[in-house]
Amino acid sequence: MSCCFGYGSFCVSVFLFIPLIWGCCVISKKEHELNEDIRDKQLRVIGVDGEQLGIMSADEALKIAYEKDLDLVKIAPQATPPVCRIMDYGKYIFEQTKREKEAKKNQRIIDIKEIRMSSTIDTHDFNVKVNQAVKFLNGGDKLKVSVRFRKRTVAHPQFGQDLLDKFKEAISEVGVVDKPSKMEGRSLVMFVSPKPNK
């Protein structure tokens, strides 16, 4: 974080390293007070290996942490007295970030792919669309299948419904219809999900 103060024709930039100056750092939306910024009279202190060191003053706890070349971190400010832990805070941040990245990497993001057809689609193009849909469904994606009506064809929605019924039958081994087809503007739309594995 930087702040800029203007004096006449020049500007002085002041860079603030938040964890050292304010004693707190945001990790997973939680603020932790560190070291000298812990001002409580008494603290319940937990050691590096999780052992209970008892209730002591902030100065005593900080002295123990500094002797081990570690940080004193307030982990339960609402407790009476507040609970602090002696730890390597830099290592803690690194491991938290690594865990969050791993969790994001393992999340499966389901996309909704769209298959568009006209109500007058020919057999070859229809088969290409079916193959594309099967590939998407096998990849775990959901589908929005739409039949677009042009000009006078909008007066004959049954052609579109017949096409969607034919499409549904063609992908029945890998997909199931989520919602019945309905009109959206000039398109008849159907949503399909991958068939659950038995």
Which residue range forms the structural domain that includes residue 142? Answer: 112-194
Q: List helix spans (H) across 37-189.
A: 58-67, 89-106, 123-138, 157-170
DSSP, res 34: B
Would you state the pLDDT for residue 50?
87
Find the DSSP H helices in the chain: 18-21, 58-67, 89-106, 123-138, 157-170
Residues 163 and 92 in one domain: no
Res 153: pLDDT: 65
Residue 139 pLDDT > 70: yes
Q: Where is the domain boundary, 71, 100, 129? A: 100
CATH number at residue 134: 3.30.110.10
pLDDT of residue 109: 66
Q: What confidence tens digit (pLDDT) does each residue in 48-106 have?
A: 888 999 999 988 989 999 999 999 889 888 888 999 999 998 888 888 888 888 887 77
Question: Residue 2 pLDDT > 50, yes or no?
Answer: no
Q: pLDDT value at position 23?
A: 40
The per-residue pLDDT for 43 is 92
Q: Is the pLDDT of residue 197 over 60?
A: yes
| 84 and 136 belong to one structural domain | no
Same domain? For 95 and 121 the reply is no
Cis, peptide link before residue 180, omega less than 30° from 0? no
> Has residue 106 been placed in a domain?
no
Looking at the domain assignment, is residue 9 inside a domain? no
Reported as a pLDDT band with limits 50, 70 and 90, residue 21 is: very low
Query: For residue 151, what are its two tokens?
Result: 């000009």
Please indicate, yes or no, whether residues 144 and 81 belong to a single structural domain of this protein: no
Number of domains in the chain: 2
The number of C-alpha atoms within 13 Å of 148 and in the hemisphere containing its C-beta is 8
Task: Please state, in angstroms and as integers, the Cα–Cα distance from residue 152 to each residue in 53, 57, 116, 117, 122, following that order.
Answer: 82, 84, 18, 16, 18
User: pLDDT class for 12, splitting at 50, 70, 90?
Assistant: very low
**pLDDT band at residue 166 under the 50/70/90 scheme:** very high
- 180 belongs to a structural domain: yes
pLDDT at 37 over 90: no
Q: Are 73 and 89 in contact (CB under 8 A)?
A: yes
* Same domain? 117 vs 92: no
Q: Are residues 86 and 132 in the same domain?
A: no
Domain boundary among 57, 77, 100: 100
The percent of residues in the chain predicted with pLDDT above 70, rounded, is 78
80/150 same-domain check: no
The rounded percent of the chain whose pLDDT value lies above 90 is 27
pLDDT band for position 8 (50/70/90)? Answer: very low
In this structure, what CATH number is given to the domain that contains residue 50? 3.10.20.80
